[in-house]
Structure 1
Amino acid sequence: MKHVSLAVAEGETLGLVGESGSGKTTTSRVALGLQRPTSGTVRFDGRPFPKRRRELAGRMQAVLQHPHWSLNPRMRVGQSVAEPLTVLGRPAGDAVTEMLEHVGLEASFAGRYPHELSGGQRQRVSIARALVTRPAFIVFDEAVSALDVSVQVQILNLIKDLQAEYGFSALFISHDLGAVRYVADRIAVMRSGEVVETADTETFYTAPAHEYSKQLLEAL
């Protein structure tokens, strides 16, 4: 990546788009503190990242493209949702049941295993798991791309509703420009490791400034 400068405001969703290999996933890893940049500074809540990422544990989370990447097939749903709290040494209490209900799943789902759920249900569990620590920042990395179109709409609506309720900031990474338009407040376009354009969503879709942005939109 070269000269990447991005900011996500409190309660805002920044959409990050670009072709495969453009640097989107690397950007998300740096934003989550999973990979350190060779130069520059990463800030969270206005302060430089601590040397020990554990100091931010629970304050940032990720929802990945394939739920089975974050859900242990040998753990029941309730255990998976509670695990982030367990790692932090916090009691789960009623948090698991409450969070499952918040993502549209009945409490009985806590006793099921991931293979007993549909793709959309597994992604709802992944979102519940990410939200259970009440994070301030969530990365959604291709979070709906593996789902059927009808299920994608349900999950996108769920993300918007949960963000309105909990107020978290989000980085929404996707190849699907339609999905990005639906959830993002602003959009950043990456190409070959660089951010070539950043604009509010309406401006990006009606009057893109960069030639590469125009090419992406023409491919819709």
Structure 2
Amino acid sequence: MSPEPVLELDAVSVVFKHITAMSDVSFRIAAGETLGLVGESGSGKTTTGSVALGLRKPTSGTVRFPYGGRRTRAGEVQAVLQNPHWSLNPRLTVADSVAEPLAAVEGGRLRTHHQAALRILDQVGLPASFGERLPHELSGGQRQRVAIARALITRPKFIVLDEAVSALDVSVQAQILNLLHDLQTEHGFGALFISHDLAAVRYLAHRVAVMRAGAIVELADAHRFYATPQHPYSRQLLETL
């Protein structure tokens, strides 16, 4: 029996005035699976991520979130963005920043969820002492670990990883990719990994979707995609590896 889907897009299109950002896009992501979404800038990847998060309504087509719902439930869909500064309040300690999404879902003061925040920080490789630090006291890789902890604390079914390692040094990228792989194995969330970095996608993704001019031009198992890409644009992208 195949794992339950945590996200399904069925013939989704998004049109801004006279610009088509997504054109008849269909795919599904199962629990425990990562779909890599690649393509050049302006191809529609960011819009697809917004639709997957429930932040943008399609012009046409259907989006089904975890449990087959048309809307997301609080905390079940999360995101890790390229720059962790966008999700971390500079005035909050690390522990309070991590606790913030859980407090929004379950209620209560931030300190009510302090121990839960410390537990998830431990899972992303940060000791409890980091909980009292402020974001500016952390390295880029440490801040991204905090952003991942924020995403995981609500026990989401699905996470959008939007260029989540592209701003990091190569050695730190490898650490974060290993961490994401291990956390997905442990927690079983599905993920949409949006990236320009085909090497990173190769490491993390189970399947790969290639987007061009708002449309999916190839969708394949990752091993087959990297060995024998079918679409000319896919082969063009892989020439950069």
TM category, shorter: over 0.9
65, 74, 77: which one aligns with 1:60: 77
Q: Output the CA distance in 2 between the equivalents of 1:109 and 1:165.
A: 23
Q: Output the CA distance in 2 between the equivalents of 1:72 and 1:48.
A: 31
Q: Output the CA distance in 2 between the equivalents of 1:170 and 1:59.
A: 12
Contact 2:96 2:114 in 1 (8 A): no
**Which blocks of at least 5 consecutive residues in structure 1 are unaligned?**
none
CA deviation string 1:151-175 (max 9, x = no partner): 0000000000000000000000110
95, 105, 130: which one aligns with 1:78: 95
CA RMSD of aligned residues (A): 1.0
Contact 1:41 1:48 in 2 (8 A): no
CA deviation string 1:167-186 (max 9, x = no partner): 00000011000000000000
Q: Output the CA distance in 1 between the equivalents of 2:149 and 2:104.
A: 16
Residue 107 (1) aligns with residue 124 (2): no
Deviation of the 1:49 alpha carbon: 1.3
Residue 12 (1) aligns with residue 33 (2): yes
Match of 1:119 in 2: 140
* Structure 1 stretches of 4+ moved >6 Å: none
Deviation of the 1:93 alpha carbon: 4.9
Deviation of the 1:10 alpha carbon: 1.3
2:172 corresponds to which letter in structure 1? V
Q: Output the CA distance in 1 between the equivalents of 2:66 and 2:142.
A: 32
Deviation of the 1:89 alpha carbon: 2.6
SS of 2:54's partner is coil
TM-score with structure 2 setting the length: 0.88
Q: Output the CA distance in 2 between the equivalents of 1:70 and 1:174.
A: 19
The change in CA–CA distance for 1:98 and 1:46 in structure 2 (over 3 A counts) is closer
Deviation of the 1:45 alpha carbon: 2.7
Count of residues paired in the alignment: 216
More strand by proportion, 1 or 2?
Answer: 2
Residue 193 (1) aligns with residue 211 (2): no
SS of 1:108's partner is helix
Q: Output the CA distance in 2 between the equivalents of 1:141 and 1:187.
A: 15
Deviation of the 1:48 alpha carbon: 3.8
1:31 corresponds to which letter in structure 2? A
Residue 26 (1) aligns with residue 47 (2): yes
Q: Output the CA distance in 1 between the equivalents of 2:60 and 2:39.
A: 23
The change in CA–CA distance for 1:164 and 1:108 in structure 2 (over 3 A counts) is same
Task: Between the two structures, name the one with larger relative contact order (CA 8 Å, sep ≥ 6).
Answer: 1
Residue 98 (1) aligns with residue 83 (2): no
Match of 1:217 in 2: 238
Deviation of the 1:214 alpha carbon: 0.3
Contact 1:33 1:49 in 2 (8 A): no
* Identical counterparts, % of pairs: 67
Contact 2:32 2:184 in 1 (8 A): yes
**Which blocks of at least 5 consecutive residues in structure 2 are unaligned?**
1-21
